[in-house]
Amino acid sequence: MSSSTGFDYESVLQHCAQGDRRALTQLYEQEASRLLTVVMRILKNRPLSEDVVHDAFIKIWKNARAYHPELGSARGWVYTLTRNLALNALKHTNRQVLAEPDFLLDLCDNQVLAAAGQTDDITELSEDHLAQASLQTCLEYLEPERKLCVLHAYVDGYTQDEIAKLIDKPLGTVKSWIKRSLNALKECLQ
């Protein structure tokens, strides 16, 4: 399955899994600058962000076989892997990022829509103000605690277990809220 850019992420990951270095080079040329932008927004540190993107491509190369199309888009997998490395780097550097509300909405727009399977092109969404307004409207329909769970998961990068502890709710409840909220957002955005 290819994205609106015509780049076939799934095929590239399959070729990486088979040891095709050209596929990794193609993926790097296609996504490195965008991934660096995403990581920079999280870390606010260019040298560290460059290291994280480098590490992400090594991890993509080594773990391409772990990608399963039935679990989501190939591009989403690449971005999730990279974002998780950035969040781990953030935790290890003990830096705190103070985010403005617009920044949170922009990140939420990218992550929630990608998780809900609405898009393969995350960078296009960040420029689409209509999509941001739609997501903001849809988020407002969620109950406050459920909205908070989604934002903690897809903006702050917390695990479901961390969210459960943070809001003092059972893990099963948090999992259910996030799943139902993503389904509600997906319906609302359609």
* Residue pointed to by tokens 């076989």: 65
Helix, strand, coil abundance in the chain, percent, nearest 5: 75, 0, 25
Max CA distance (Å), the chain: 48
- Return the CATH fold of 9-93: Rna Polymerase Sigma Factor; Chain: A (1.10.1740)
Compute the distance between CA of residue 69 and CA of residue 80 in angstroms, rounded to an integer.
Answer: 14
Total count of residues recorded for the chain: 190
- Mark the ranges of the chain whose per-residue pLDDT is less than 70: 1-5, 93-133, 155-156
Q: Where are the domains of the chain?
A: 9-93, 101-189
The pLDDT value recorded for residue 2 is 42
**Each residue's pLDDT tens digit, 115-126:** 444 444 434 434
Compute the distance between CA of residue 105 and CA of residue 95 in angstroms, rounded to an integer.
Answer: 21
| CATH topology match: 9-93 vs 101-189 | no
**Each residue's pLDDT tens digit, 52-94:** 999 999 999 999 999 888 878 899 899 999 998 998 888 776 5
Backbone φ and ψ of 179, nearest 5°? -60, -50
Secondary structure of 35-96 as H, E, C letters: HHHHHHHHHCCHHHHHHHHHHHHHHHHHHHHHCCHHHCCHHHHHHHHHHHHHHHHHHHHCCC
The pLDDT value recorded for residue 101 is 36
CATH number of 101-189: 1.10.10.10
Compute the distance between CA of residue 29 and CA of residue 9 in angstroms, rounded to an integer.
Answer: 12
* Residue pointed to by tokens 């090594």: 58
